Structure 1
Amino acid sequence: METSIVGVGVGISDRFRTVTEDKSARIGTLAPRAQRLDVKVTHRAYHNGAREEETVELTVTGKGPLVRAEATDADKFAALDLAVDKLAEQLRRAKDKRVDARNHPRGPKLDKGSGALAGIDVQPASADVLQAVATGVIPIVSSDDDEEYTPVVIRTKQFDAEWMTVEEAVDRMELVGHDFFLFIDARSDRPSVVYRRKGWDYGVISLTASAPPEALAS
């Protein structure tokens, strides 16, 4: 498996490269279809250097969906160990889920006659969520006492929309190690998000398009 290592704000030593190569062998054992491991190490300093931390992001690509994990620690070697452990756990969970699905078929079932989806918790999004999505505005509460610094850091990411079934979205969520996954439901064309509950139980929230209040008033 090919391994690529990059550093952002930090140099990559030969020792770190050697340790990472050793770790990649473990990943290759758990993911035999993996073809490439991308490792990104990011150094961050806070409060004028009073606190520093290293974030290690691992991304495995190959035949099938990518698998991603990340961890943060004051030491990049410790962060690497944590990220590898997370990645290994995600791969094991995905494998156990496939075995469990084969042995005990369950989960969402589509009624072809009515188009209803049974066996999964579906609930409508709240009015506040719909308004935030429609306007693209995320409310942020600020403090007048400390306008220059806030401990809250909001990271923004944008991805291309992907059409898939709920089952495929659950599998993708397990592989990337997140508690939720955004997608476009291929059956309804609705923006949706699946999320983890307990064990192998999952939920899905879908947005239903409706006319804005201004249009209804007119």
Structure 2
Amino acid sequence: MDIAVVARNTEVADRFRAHLEDKLSKVEQLAPRARRIEVEITKEQNPRLADRAERVELTVVDRGPTIRAEAAADDRYAALDLATTKLMERLRRARDRRKNHHRRGGAKPIADFEELAPEPVVEELPTTPTPPTEPGEVVEAQLGDSPVIVRQKLHDTQPMSIDQALYEMELVGHPFYLFIDEETMQPCAVYHRHGWTYGIIRLNYEVAAKDAAL
């Protein structure tokens, strides 16, 4: 299994790289079909954030859902331990779900959710950075003359059910998840609300006559 390491604002010593590969060697036991593990190590430059200056993000690229975990600490080794623990738990959850899905021949909804209408856009950004063109590619660009940095990443996807979207959101550890609803083919986003409840936002767009003529 390939392990791709990217360092931001820091360098990765050979000793840590060897430790990293040893820690991640157990991933293949839970995800034998995984193609690679992407590791992102970031060093926070702000001294006020010294207690979480070292951040480690782990992403397992599998044939199924992407599984991700991240953690921050004052020490790089501690951050790696925390992130690996989260990752292994999510890999076990994914493995168990696959087994249950195979036995039952389907999946059941895992939570209640409410649907919200999309809110109108109040203000447009002054510029739009060039988006990435390859899956997995990351593009960072400054937004116009402002100090704001916009980071974009392109992901492959397939239409899926709401239940599957909630499941994949939990696997990557995000508070929201963007997907295409397989029933309506609308772009949607599920998100955490409170407790074990979720919300879903749908986007509806109709092509105007002038747009169709272009």
Per the alignment, in what secondary structure is the counterpart of residue 65 of structure 1?
coil
Question: What pairs with 1:134-173 in structure 2 (closer than 5 Å)?
Answer: 135-136=123-124, 156-157=151-152, 159=154, 162-166=157-161, 167-173=163-169
TM-score, normalised relative to structure 1: 0.66
Deviation at 1:176? 1.7
Mind listing any 5+ residue stretches in structure 1 that lack a counterpart? 109-118, 138-152, 211-218
Aligned position for 2:57: 57
Per the alignment, in what secondary structure is the counterpart of residue 34 of structure 1?
coil
Please state if 1:9 is matched with 2:1. Answer: no
Per the alignment, in what secondary structure is the counterpart of residue 60 of structure 2?
strand
Aligned position for 1:131: 120
Identity across matched positions, percent = 39
Q: Distance in 2 between matches of 1:161 and 1:18?
A: 30
Deviation at 1:159? 4.1
Match of 2:201 among 192, 199, 205: 205
Q: Distance in 2 between matches of 1:161 and 1:2?
A: 19
Aligned position for 2:28: 28
* Distance verdict in 2 for CA 1:50–1:181, change over 3 Å: closer
**Cα RMSD, aligned residues only:** 3.3
Q: Distance in 2 between matches of 1:157 and 1:188?
A: 26
* Distance verdict in 2 for CA 1:136–1:188, change over 3 Å: farther
Q: Report if aligned partners of 2:116, 2:200 keep a CA contact under 8 Å in 1.
A: no
Aligned length: 179
Code of the aligned partner of 1:175: L
Per the alignment, in what secondary structure is the counterpart of residue 94 of structure 1?
helix
Per the alignment, in what secondary structure is the counterpart of residue 25 of structure 2?
helix
Per the alignment, in what secondary structure is the counterpart of residue 82 of structure 1?
helix
Deviation at 1:80? 0.6
Computing the radius of gyration from Cα coordinates, the structure with the larger value is 1
Cα deviation per residue 1:46-68 (whole Å; 9 max; x = unaligned)?
1xx45430111112123333322
TM-score, normalised relative to structure 2: 0.67
Per mean C-alpha deviation after superposition, the further-off stretch among 190-199 and 9-18 is 190-199
